[in-house]
Amino acid sequence: MSGEIYPDLVVASANVLANFIIGVGVLQNAVYVLLLVVAQRALAAEPPEPRVRTLRRRCAASAPPIALLAPAYNEAPTIENSVRSLLALDYPDFEVIVINDGSKDDTLGVLQRAFALETVTRDFHRTLAHRQIRGVYRSASHDRLVVVDKENGGKADALNAGLNLARAPIVCSMDADSILEPDSLLRAVQPFVEDPQHVVATGGTVRIANGCTIRDGRVVDIGLPRNILAMLQTIEYLRAFLLARLAWSRMGALTIVSGAFGLFRRSVLIEIGGYAARTVGEDMELIVRLHRHFREQKRPYRIAFVPEPVCWTEAPETLAGLARQRARWHRGALETFFKHRAMAFNPRYGRVGIVGMGQVFLFDVLGPVIELAGYVLMPLMWMLGILSLDYFLAYLALTFVLGVAISVGSLALEEAELRRFPKAIDLIKLALAAVLENFGYRQLNSLWRLWGLWQWLRGVQSWGEMSRKGFQPAAAGLVDA
């Protein structure tokens, strides 16, 4: 750095700032490399069982009943197919509870016509607070289906109603518009079967369905999205689930089970008061609260991540939609972190406090601010002659290359153990996406997260408008034969 033009203090401050930004970046990348190693070891030691028949044989006798809780809000175009695919899941004992969360469209009417719903009486304890239930229906044609019609209160409120009504010991929270693979429950329930006394929650992998062929609410042919944003999210999801969540769970520091697909012991959720209604990151908040509850009570417990059960979801394909989603996710992470800030770096909470909340601090609280500060300040400092161009370029190259290497690493994990993408060309496309995401997408992501930070500081609570194309026959890229 040059000290010829500027006072020493300015140069020293710039030095400190530059070193801090670089230090945080290096730490983030180092954590990712560690995650890659842990995830690789975990998958190599316990690769998923490829044969569903073997799984079925192993857990047929000991599979606990599961209640699938599917909150639906304005899902009229897709709800029938979604529910049919849920009813066709391969699991010995389950019940589907669809919670119509005060939809303004004809979601309830579609369900009534498609499944011959009849009004029933169902006794339940209103142990968790939620908005008024207007009616409970059971299908005359499908024994396993229960539909709850309630006033609108949001996803967490709907899930709480479902938790009250459920009778199975294990509940599966999901989005009504997600698609579960037929064997997903069999796979996700394994930790509950293996360690019934300690496992309180398990999560599975969420994948992008854009570009896949969907028929009758089932993914029948896996393909990559044609939309570039969805493609970039595909590699992002691979990194987040196959690498990060698997590794954090192996380290006992998993702080989130996706709201799109997670299994929970019902009694435990009721014990901790169910989902927090006034948050946009109810999935993360729930998991952190579970950790906190069990750590404070000094009770043994386990929250597991199983990489193989797959839930397919539709990714936003427009910048505006993606921006809203990312800002909301970030707001949720910040809400959770600051709500449970007492846990952060607190040895009383063990690994979750130090490692789990530490990574939330590093990646979610500091991450976007530092990254954007880096993008803005580093070139600025170089232009002002404070920062050496050689170092700046070298650091930039290393950061980008590390990002690509980590994405290629998660792709290698996927290919070595799961092999979901059917063609070799898919791997090449995904690798190109891993390179491409460094030029614009990552920076945009940081901006969106910063927007989320701004919303959080202003106390914005809304979910924002969510537009989905739906798994429709007419939807481009989502071919329904």
For other proteins, the binding residues (CB under 8 A) are: 44-49, 51, 53-54, 57, 61-62, 119, 121-127, 133, 135-136, 193-198, 267, 271, 390-391, 394-395, 397-398, 401-402, 404-405, 408-409, 411-412, 415, 423-424, 427-428, 431
Least separation, in Å, of the C-beta of 142 and other proteins? Answer: 20
Least separation, in Å, of the C-beta of 415 and other proteins? Answer: 5
138: left (phi over 0), alpha (psi -120 to 50) or beta: beta
- Which residues have CB under 8 Å from 333's CB, separation 6+? 281, 284, 360, 364
Please identify, using beta-carbon distances, which residue of 62 and 467 lies nearer to other proteins.
Answer: 62
Please identify, using beta-carbon distances, which residue of 232 and 260 lies nearer to other proteins.
Answer: 232
Least separation, in Å, of the C-beta of 370 and other proteins? Answer: 19
Least separation, in Å, of the C-beta of 461 and other proteins? Answer: 27
Contact in structure between 257 and 303 (CB atoms under 8 Å): yes
Sign of CA dihedral 157, 158, 164, 169: negative
Pairing of strands 179-180, 170-174: unpaired
- Name the 3-class secondary structure at 375: helix
Sign of CA dihedral 461, 467, 472, 477: negative
Candidates 57, 18, 43; CA nearest to 375 is: 18
Please identify, using beta-carbon distances, which residue of 220 and 412 lies nearer to other proteins.
Answer: 412
Q: Using the structure block, give the residue that is written with the tokens 């901006």.
A: 447
Least separation, in Å, of the C-beta of 417 and other proteins? Answer: 10
Least separation, in Å, of the C-beta of 105 and other proteins? Answer: 23
CA 421, CA 259: separation in Å to the nearest integer?
24
Please identify, using beta-carbon distances, which residue of 44 and 140 lies nearer to other proteins.
Answer: 44
Please identify, using beta-carbon distances, which residue of 240 and 408 lies nearer to other proteins.
Answer: 408
DSSP H/E element including 457: helix 441-458
Candidates 320, 338, 294, 299; CA nearest to 459 is: 338
Please identify, using beta-carbon distances, which residue of 75 and 308 lies nearer to other proteins.
Answer: 308
Least separation, in Å, of the C-beta of 49 and other proteins? Answer: 6
Least separation, in Å, of the C-beta of 77 and other proteins? Answer: 28
Please identify, using beta-carbon distances, which residue of 124 and 463 lies nearer to other proteins.
Answer: 124
Candidates 53, 54, 50; CA nearest to 416 is: 50
Least separation, in Å, of the C-beta of 419 and other proteins? Answer: 8
Least separation, in Å, of the C-beta of 203 and other proteins? Answer: 20
- Name the 3-class secondary structure at 387: coil
CA-angle at 446, arms to 333 and 233, nearest 5°: 85
DSSP H/E element including 377: helix 367-383
Name the strands in the sheet holding 179-180, side by side, starting at the edge strand that comes first in the sequence.
117-119, 133-139, 145-150, 94-101, 66-72, 170-174, 261-265, 199-208, 302-313, 179-180
Please identify, using beta-carbon distances, which residue of 283 and 417 lies nearer to other proteins.
Answer: 417
Please identify, using beta-carbon distances, which residue of 61 and 474 lies nearer to other proteins.
Answer: 61
Please identify, using beta-carbon distances, which residue of 172 and 406 lies nearer to other proteins.
Answer: 406
- Which residues have CB under 8 Å from 54's CB, separation 6+? none
DSSP H/E element including 321: helix 319-339
